[in-house]
Amino acid sequence: MRDKDKEYLQNFGANLKKIREDKGFTQAQLAIDSDLDISYISRIENGRISPSLIYITHIADALGVDMKQLISFNK
Amino acid sequence: MRDKDKEYLQNFGANLKKIREDKGFTQAQLAIDSDLDISYISRIENGRISPSLIYITHIADALGVDMKQLISFNK
């Protein structure tokens, strides 16, 4: 993986964590509402994995935000 | 996979194909420029797989478009 990729995933994870907390969700609640495993949510937020596109739509739906919000952050 | 998910991936693939063609790229050229396999590009465009987020950034960089363009289409 390119350094640029690692940085992007860390930024994506930090942005997701911020939005989740702003919306008052715990990781556990988000995992339930998006049909995903809590460890998957945790690894995304820590920038340790690159999530699958379709799971990002599950997360966006659960948080009630547009996909664009999840990918809009300063790179 | 939910029906809604299949529909989303088909729309995502069709949108990618349109942008790629508008930009005058062949699948082969996009595969080279994004460090991805041509079969991966083809399966994305046919809505048969859910691409990894980081590979979407490679595709966006190769096509010279913003990520938002790749995920902005009528669901």
pLDDT, tens only, A6-15: 999 999 999 9
In chain A, domain spans: 3-66
**CATH T-level topology, domain B3-63:** 434 Repressor (Amino-terminal Domain) (1.10.260)
Q: Model confidence at B73, in pLDDT bands (50, 70, 90)? A: confident
**A12, A68, A72: residue with CB nearest B53:** A12
CB-based contact A17:A45 (threshold 8 Å): yes
Average pLDDT value for chain B: 95
Amino acid type, B49? I
- Asked if the Cβ–Cβ distance from B5 to A72 is below 8 Å, we say no
**B50, B57, B68: residue with CB nearest A8:** B57
The CATH architecture assigned to A3-66 reads Orthogonal Bundle (1.10)
